[in-house]
Amino acid sequence: MKRYPPIPSVSGVSDDALAGHLWLLELVDGWHLRFRMEPSGLLRFGDRDAVHDDPGDLPDAYRHAVRHVRERFDRDALRDAVDDVTDVTFFGVATHRRAVDYDWDRIPSLLGHDVWSDDAGAFRPPDATERIFEAFGLDSVNVFERERHARDFDPEGYAVPTSAWYDGPAAGIVVRAKAGGRAAIRNPEVPADREPEPEAESEAEPLDETMAELVEMYATESELERFAAEVGERGDPLTVDALAERTFEGFLRVHHRRLDPGSGGQSPAAIRTVLRDRSRAFLDDRSER
């Protein structure tokens, strides 16, 4: 599966690389996720460095994004669009908490930003990429500007806009030339998260509250209603386990760095237990209304 190249700073690329018409995309603060479909319809996932036969081998914080892609990706549409489904690799950002506290109820679990074709030996241009993700049932990163001519773009004087996904500044922008060049402008007002890549994640963050209190603050009635609606949208039975698992994935999305597998109270198993109790109480109360 194609590996995504690093995006250089705009100061480190030549004018020729960013010539012609440019697209200015929001730089979303999250983790790298790529996937490809096998002829059987199975989706194979990878992070920046490794491809996993079992997506469960990815860090737990990816769970929400993997589910999102599995549930929404239109496999039949891809089969109709290309002769060989393994020719295409999709790249996106798994939107879980790093440095930016996005509006987690609004921002999709995955925002796509690139599509690679083995046959063409190239990434698709940004206008085509946006259409491709939409055609296959997924969201792409939002576009600040389309088709801006390079002669009218001054990267040093460019003010990074407000993010589409929370009331604050974007983490930066990605400048893409339709001819293939790309570069990043990071917003200095947004602190860069220096933690390692997820497979070498640092120790858990210290807690200002107990894990039970944190779960109680997260798994509110409105959040449980939202996750219950998601289960219902899939046509799945709304069981305690189904609701608890969906809520657990949402909790990991926001609080994954609070977990410590070596600590009983902060372990994933302990969180699952608390969320299952919360889910059971919620469904019992719901059935009595």
pLDDT in tens, 109-138: 999 999 999 999 999 999 999 999 999 999
- Residue 209: pLDDT band by 50, 70, 90 thresholds? low
- The verdict on residue 197 lying in a domain is no
Residue 222 CA: distances (Å) to CA of 55, 63, 147, 238, 282? 29, 21, 41, 16, 10
pLDDT at 233: 85
* Burial class of residue 285, CB neighbours in 10 A (0-12, 13-18, 19+): exposed
- The verdict on residue 198 lying in a domain is no
pLDDT at 1: 93
pLDDT at 267 over 70: yes
Pick the last residue of a domain from 153, 186, 219.
Answer: 186
- The verdict on residue 243 lying in a domain is yes
Comparing CA positions, the residue from 59, 67, 55 lying closest to residue 247 is 67
pLDDT at 207 over 80: no
- Residue 197: pLDDT band by 50, 70, 90 thresholds? very low
22-31, 164-173, 264-273: the lowest-pLDDT one: 264-273
pLDDT at 199: 41
Q: What is the pLDDT of residues 6-49, one digit of tens each?
A: 899 988 888 888 889 999 999 999 999 999 999 999 999 999 88
- The verdict on residue 98 lying in a domain is yes
Residues 75, 215, single domain; the answer is no
- Residue 265: pLDDT band by 50, 70, 90 thresholds? low
**Structural domain that includes position 252:** 203-288
pLDDT at 201: 45
Query: How many domains does one find in the chain?
Result: 2
- The verdict on residue 75 lying in a domain is yes
- What is d(CA 56, CA 60) in angstroms, rounded to the nearest whole number? 8
pLDDT at 205 over 60: no
- The verdict on residue 262 lying in a domain is yes
> Which is more confident, 198 or 141?
141
pTM of the model: 0.88
Q: How many CA atoms lie within 13 A of 204 on its CB side?
A: 18
- The verdict on residue 196 lying in a domain is no
Residues 181, 229, single domain; the answer is no
What six digits make up the tokens of 18? Answer: 């960013």
Residues 130, 216, single domain; the answer is no
Which H or E run includes 80? helix 75-81
Comparing CA positions, the residue from 86, 88, 96 lying closest to residue 66 is 96
> Which is more confident, 235 or 29?
29
Q: What is the mean pLDDT of the chain?
A: 87
Pick the last residue of a domain from 157, 186, 215.
Answer: 186
